[in-house]
Amino acid sequence: MDVTIRDEGDTKVVVLQGKLDTNTTPDVESAINSLLDDGVNNLLINFENLSYISSAGLRLLLATAKHMEGSGGDLRVCSLNEMATEVFELSGFTAIIDVYASEQEALGGA
């Protein structure tokens, strides 16, 4: 799992590549927690290169969304592949986390 973080205006964009499963989630979690600890308020997670997401990955996203909701921040995700979209929708998480078709769209709505 590769985690790339870059700035797009006041938004931190986290690009994930590979599989977000039980083994890789702790690395991503520590990367995201560092951003949250630094007081990042606008976070966009790009799933474009993510091939698989497990319940551990979903849990990380939910926990992040909950944290940011508590701190008045904003979490968005974008470019979900078919599998991730289905899991998101079947889990009902699209009602909790803002999902966008592309990074451009997500940043435009920021």
Partner 1 sequence: MIIREHSAFRLCWDALILVLVIYSCVLIPYQLVFLHSVELVNNRLMQAIGLVFLCDIGLNFITSYRNAGVEILDSKTIRKHYLSGLFAVDLIANFPMDLLVAAAGDPQVGGFSAILLLRLLALLRLFRFFVILRRWESLSWTHPGYLRVFKYVGVILVLTHCIACLWFASASIDEFPADSWVVVANIETSEPLSQYIRSLYWTITTMTTVGYGDITPSRSVEYLLACVIMLIGASLYAFIIGGLASLLGNLNAAKNSHWEHIESVEQYLRSRQVPASLGMRVHRYYEYLWERHKGLNERTLLEDLPDSLRLDIMLHLAGDVLRDVHLFKHCSTMLRNTLLVALKPATYAPGNYLAREGEVGKNIIFITQGEVEILVGEDEVSHGTLGPGDYFGYLSLALKEHRSASIRACDYCEVLILDKSRYDEISTEYPEFLQVMKQVSAEHSGRASQLLLEGIVL
Instruction: Give least dist CB 78 to partner 1, A.
Output: 18
Q: Which is nearer to partner 1, 81 or 94 (CB)?
A: 94
Instruction: Give least dist CB 82 to partner 1, A.
Output: 12
Cβ neighbors of 104 (< 8 A, separation 6 or more) are none
Distance CA 19, CA 12 (A): 21
Distance CA 90, CA 100 (A): 16
Instruction: Give least dist CB 80 to partner 1, A.
Output: 13
User: HSE of 43 in the Cβ direction (CA atoms, 13 Å)?
Assistant: 29
| Binding positions for partner 1, rule: CB under 8 A | 54-55, 58-59, 62-63, 66, 86-87, 89-96
Q: Which is nearer to partner 1, 33 or 93 (CB)?
A: 93
